[in-house]
Amino acid sequence: MSDLRILAEGLRFPEGPVAFADGSVALVELEARRITRIAPDGAKSTIATVEGAPNGLAVGSDGALYLCNNGGFAWHEEAGLLRPSGQAADYSGGRIERIDPATGAVTRLYDSCDGVPLKGPNDLVFDGKGGFWFTDLGKVRARDRDHGGVYWAAEDGSRIVEAAYPVFGGGNGIGLSPDGEVLYVAETETGRLWAWDILSPGRLRKAPWPSVHGGRLLCQFPGFRRLDSLAVAASGNVVVATLVSGEITTVSPSGEIVEVVTMPDRMPTNICFGGPDLRTAYVTLSTTGRLAALPWSEPGLRLAFG
């Protein structure tokens, strides 16, 4: 599309963009195991390096960066395209980490819930009530895979709750409605977008069987489409990075697909909103290692600590 600009290239599977007021964007490079800042002129600088694989990224109430670390992927690269290909040989376990953006110091907050190890934390969103919701995609191996799930955790490291489990196709993108009353989760392998009403931090209203995790199906995406991260617009629309088809898909709060924007990569994995009016969309084009920016048709929702 003619109004799409490439801000940075040569990134090693970028995800988790976070837009700052100065026009810079922080993101993760999964394969390179680092958190990188992209300046408005495209210059790159390293905020921190981590073991495992950095995934979802968000700013907390203290200004620190909070990270979903999935523990590590194996990688496949051909013809200039890079993509994950299952659990890494040196997989080090899933965890939630806090990163000091000034020093790059990494602190582990959580690596289990009720004695059960986290497998592959993927994305997170702060609720402005002392904590954050996050997804676990699970890990994929040659002959089996983990179930995904949805969790809530206190920002100070004091409490973690398994809120919805299992998400068979892997919990990926996660976001909150503008009023903070509804939680949205994208399930990767099934192409399904789920919603739960929030009762309190860590507690979701569960629908009865046959929904095993208690969510209500908001939208079943058509054809062969896998879902990655998501963002929420100020209108309440849910904007989902859509894999395989290489699209950004907007779904209304009632579940209708209202807009589809094609991206120049089959794996546009993450989207966030920035700029003074939150009408600039930043999209990670992951297999080709690029960060793109484009004007969006509506403003994004201002995050709790954005």
Q: The CATH number of the domain where 169 resides is what?
A: 2.120.10.30
Rounded CA separation 67/233 (Å): 22
Residue 306 lies in a domain: no
pLDDT of residue 209: 87
Are 194 and 184 in contact, with CB atoms under 8 Å apart? yes
Show the domain range for 219: 5-295
Q: Is the dihedral of CA 62, 113, 238, 271 positive or negative?
A: positive
What burial class does residue 84 get, using C-beta atoms within 10 Å of its C-beta: 0-12 exposed, 13-18 middle, 19+ buried? buried
29 beta partners: 14, 34
Q: Which amino acid is at 219?
A: C
List, in order, residues 6 or more apart from 134 with CB less than 8 Å away: 56, 68, 96, 121, 122, 123, 124, 125, 150, 151, 152, 153, 174
60 confidence band (pLDDT: 50, 70, 90): very high
Give the strand order in the sheet containing 238-243.
226-232, 238-243, 247-251, 257-262
pLDDT tens-digit profile of 223-264? 999 999 999 999 999 999 999 999 999 999 999 999 999 999
Residue 53, CB-side half-sphere exposure with 13 Å CA sphere: 27
CA angle 47-53-54, nearest 5°?
A: 45
Residue 24, in any domain of the structure: yes
Confidence of residue 1 (pLDDT cuts 50, 70, 90): low
Q: Which residues pair with 283 in a beta bridge?
A: 271, 292
- Enclosing H/E stretch for 194: strand 192-200
Instruction: Look over the chain and give the mean of its residue pLDDT values, rounded to a whole number.
Output: 97
In a domain, residue 304? The reply is no
Percentages of the chain per state (helix, strand, coil), in multiples of 5: 0, 55, 45
81-116 tens-digit pLDDT = 999 999 999 999 999 999 999 999 999 999 999 999
Q: Within 10 A of 264 (CB to CB), how many other CB atoms are there?
A: 14
Model pLDDT, residue 57: 98
* 228 is a domain residue: yes
**CA–CA distance, 186 with 214 (Å, rounded to integer):** 14
Q: Report the pLDDT value the prediction gives residue 152, as an integer from 0 to 100.
A: 99
Tell me the per-residue pLDDT of 76-89, one tens digit each, with 9 for 90 and over. 999 989 999 999 99
Percent of the chain with pLDDT over 90: 97
| 301 within domain boundaries | no
Residue 192: band (very low, low, confident or very high) from pLDDT cuts 50, 70, 90: very high
Where does residue 47 fall: left (phi above 0), alpha (psi -120 to 50 degrees), or beta otherwise? alpha
Altogether, the residues listed in the chain come to a count of 306
Query: Could you give the count of Cα atoms lying within 13 Å of 135 in the half-sphere of its Cβ?
Result: 32
Does 175 score more than 90 pLDDT? yes
Say if 48 falls within a structural domain. yes
Quote the tokens at residue 96. Answer: 């939630």
d(CA 44, CA 38): 5
228 flagged as catalytic: yes
236 contacts 178 by C-beta, under 8 angstroms: yes
Is 212 among the domain residues? yes
Number of structural domains (the chain) is 1
Distance CA 90, CA 268 (A): 26
The C-alpha atoms of residue 156 and residue 254 are separated, in whole angstroms, by 35
What pLDDT does residue 2 have? 67
Please identify which of the residues 123, 146, 228, 265 carries the catalytic annotation.
228
| Confidence (pLDDT) at 98 | 98
Amino acid at 207: A
Return phi, psi of residue 275, to 5°. 85, 165
Provide the pLDDT for residue 80. 87
Whether 142 is in a domain gets the answer yes
pTM: 0.98
